[in-house]
Amino acid sequence: MRILLVEDDPDLTRQLKLALADAGYAVDHAPDGEEAQYLGENEPYDAVILDLGLPKVDGVSVLERWRRGNVTTPVLILTARGAWSDKVAGFDAGADDYLAKPFHTEELLARLRALLRRSAGHAAPSLSCGALRLDPRAARASVNGEPLRLTSLEYRLLHYMMMHQGRVIGRTELVEHLYDQDFDRDSNTIEVFIGRLRKKLGADRIETVRGLGYRLAALPGEENA
Amino acid sequence: MLDLRRRSLVRRLVLIAGIWTLLVVLIAGVFLTAQFRDAAIRRFDQSLAVLTDDLYAGSSVDNGQLRAPFLTDIRATRVYSGRYWVILDKQPDGAMKPIERSRSLFDSDLMLSSAQIDQLEAAPGKTQYFDLRGPQDKPLRAAAVQARLPGYPDPVVFLAAEDRSPIDADADRFARITAFALLILGGGLILAVVVQVRFGLQPLFRLRREVALVRRGKAERVDGAYPEELSPLAGELNALLAHNQEVVERQRTHVGNLAHALKTPLSVMLTEASQQPGQLAEVVTRQAQTMREQVDHHLRRARAAARSQTSGERTPVEPILDELAVTLERIFQDKANGAGVEIDWRCPEDLCFQGEKQDLMELAGNVMENAGKWCRGRIRVDAVPVGEARMTLTVDDDGPGLPPEERAQALKRGQRLDENAPGSGLGLSIVDELARAYGGSVQLGEAPLGGLRVTLDLPRAVS
């Protein structure tokens, strides 16, 4: 397993390099944002450990550039800023996990293992509907390559509708597939989630068929991505 | 009491106007009354002078005896009618001996004081005017002239007098009417001043109310149009507020930078210590842990200090819950043997929290993270408006929950966060501290899902 470590503090770098090597990883090191961006784009790493406070280019910008350039390597963010607004910003930029300083090396290694295990999951065919694309392996969806931020319930609803795209799906059917158990089946629930999906996908993709249910379809003139 | 700098502006203006009005009205009253009285007496005196002139011109001397003219003045013939005349002989020894008198005098006399006699002596032939006491002790106005008649040895004084009480009564009535009219005028003027001052100072009162709103955090700056005398003040106030906020913001950034800069060295120390076990390592670990807690504690305090300056913000709740749900599901995706955590959240689209976005994120983020740690896979979040200006945020999980006695403990830690070392395992003490800063509260209970229910009571922004 090959890991890219992006960290500007020499002592922390030495410690992490040692710990990662002990755990059996091959480690490359980038001390600033520019080098990190170059290495991440050109070398096939299995995971990246990315500090956010970096010289030249900051960590969030590096991550955003990778994700825009279709670098899908799992990224674990290391940062001194542990506020929720910082965490949310990190995940929005495309991070897969987040660890606030100061941390224990053991925890970092555990998180890294989990990250690698997830990304090594079985490949499953991705689904598409027009410019909408859903990747069951990473549990991610995107429109025109732009990642969508979906909660698991929203994702589950979209997944079901994409598997049955073009067909009118009744409310009861949707509720049954949204929740495992008999739980909160008030009639409003589906409307709430359809509303949120429309907000995130664009209003035209989900059509309301009166009295019957909903239908997901590609926009007119759209090719499957 | 007389420290005018501290008196209310309204009272000060009204007081000055009041004193001035009172003074003017008083002077006008006195002057008008005096004028009226003078004019009345002058007319009175003229009619008396006509009588003395008639007496003087009509008197004749016959064989050393003085004869008074026959006068047709009826009022001078009725006894005690109020109109009298007398002709006096000034004898060589200075005594005044009445020679003739009007019938109205009956058997009484009109006596002159020595001062009045001297006054007549000093200006012979000129009519002099006096106040006298007459029959029945009535106040009289008198005109007198001292003259010599050919063929009569002694100087003769012709004196006419009349009861002056009618003109005094007239003058008094005039004074009363004038006083009454002036009193109404003065009162009206003062009332007008009060109204004028209150109306004129309206913008000042409005400014005060707006500044109070800013201080209570209900507004960020002084808005609204002000008259040209006040708008520079409002502008200066806004500039001061902006400056204040800038300074606080700068301090906050400094504290934040310092605190965050300390975290990397702390991380290094902790790691280094864990790799070389021993007594030194133990001390370093313990101390580094304390430093970390202190850093977190002071970061929160810096934010809290800044918060009191700007709580006029409104933050929509829905996008925050959405972002947190997505982020937390990502963080806990390995839970429950890789099934992850399912966060089902509900929130009206127009619900707004009265406060900063970052704070709502901390509040909801910490409670939801706590739920994520303890749940078996399911979290339910409900944000609902309550009453006029409150909202509740309820976070349920399906974990083991907390027995009631431990619930109290989890929140008590929060109460004593100031003295004690900060940082508790639950993260709920931070939430409690933050909710209190917003005048809200945290309640722990049992969730329908089986686990812990955390209910936050928070201020809601109303449009």
What CATH number did the domain enclosing A6 receive? 3.40.50.2300
- Asked, for residue A41, whether it belongs to a domain, the answer is yes
Helices (H), B332-455: 335-338, 357-374, 404-415, 428-437
Residues B379 and B406 reside in one and the same domain:
yes
Distance CA A2, CA B420 (A): 44
- Asked, for residue B220, whether it belongs to a domain, the answer is no
Residues B397 and B412 reside in one and the same domain:
yes
* Per-residue pLDDT reduced to its tens digit, A204-213: 888 888 888 8
Mean pLDDT of the B323-351 span: 86
Output the average pLDDT for chain B. Answer: 84
Amino acid B42: pLDDT: 93
Mean pLDDT of the A165-190 span: 75
- Asked, for residue A137, whether it belongs to a domain, the answer is yes
Residues A181 and A98 reside in one and the same domain:
no
B337 — alpha (psi -120 to 50), left (phi > 0) or beta? Answer: left
* Per-residue pLDDT reduced to its tens digit, A104-140: 888 899 989 888 887 765 445 678 888 888 877 667 7
Q: pTM of the entire structure?
A: 0.60
Residues A181 and A143 reside in one and the same domain:
yes
- Asked, for residue B321, whether it belongs to a domain, the answer is yes
Residues A149 and A199 reside in one and the same domain:
yes
Residue in chain B lying closest to A191 (CA): B346
Contact with chain A for residue B325, Cβ under 8 A: yes
- Asked, for residue A225, whether it belongs to a domain, the answer is no
Tally of structural domains, chain B: 3
Q: Which residues form the domain of A203?
A: 127-216
Amino acid B423: pLDDT: 36
| Residues from chain A contacting residue B266 (CB–CB below 8 Å) | 101-102
Partner-chain contact A105 B334, CB within 8 Å: no
Residues A103 and A17 reside in one and the same domain:
yes
Amino acid A36: pLDDT: 92
Amino acid B420: pLDDT: 36
Residue A95 pLDDT exceeds 70: yes
Domain boundary among A103, A119, A135: A119
CATH (domain of B324) = 3.30.565.10
- For A182, phi then psi, to 5°, come to -70, 105
| Residue B19 banded pLDDT, cuts 50, 70, 90 | very high
Size of interface A-B (CB pairs under 8 A): 103
Amino acid B28: pLDDT: 93
- Asked, for residue A222, whether it belongs to a domain, the answer is no
Residue A80 pLDDT exceeds 50: yes
Contact with chain B for residue A203, Cβ under 8 A: no
Residues B128 and B102 reside in one and the same domain:
yes
Distance CA A163, CA A140 (A): 15
Residues A30 and A111 reside in one and the same domain:
yes
Residue B424 pLDDT exceeds 70: no
- ipTM for the complex? 0.76
| Residues from chain A contacting residue B288 (CB–CB below 8 Å) | 102
Residues B390 and B296 reside in one and the same domain:
no
Minimal C-alpha gap between B367 and chain A (Å): 11
CATH (domain of A146) = 1.10.10.10
Output the average pLDDT for chain A. Answer: 84
Q: Which residues form the domain of B323?
A: 314-459
Distance CA B434, CA B431 (A): 5
Residue B447 pLDDT exceeds 70: yes
Residues B68, B84 contacting (CB under 8 angstroms): no
* Per-residue pLDDT reduced to its tens digit, B233-270: 888 888 988 888 788 778 878 887 888 888 888 888 88
Distance CA A101, CA B260 (A): 9
Residues A41 and A109 reside in one and the same domain:
yes
Residues B46 and B95 reside in one and the same domain:
yes
The residue of B327, B395, B396 whose CB has the most chain A CBs within 10 angstroms, and thus the best one to mutate to test that interface, is B327
Residues A59 and A114 reside in one and the same domain:
yes
Amino acid B419: pLDDT: 35
Distance CA B6, CA B72 (A): 75
Tally of structural domains, chain A: 2
Residues A70 and A108 reside in one and the same domain:
yes
- Asked, for residue A55, whether it belongs to a domain, the answer is yes
Residues A113 and A131 reside in one and the same domain:
no
- H/E element, B12: helix B9-58
Mean pLDDT of the B439-446 span: 90
Residue B4 pLDDT exceeds 80: no
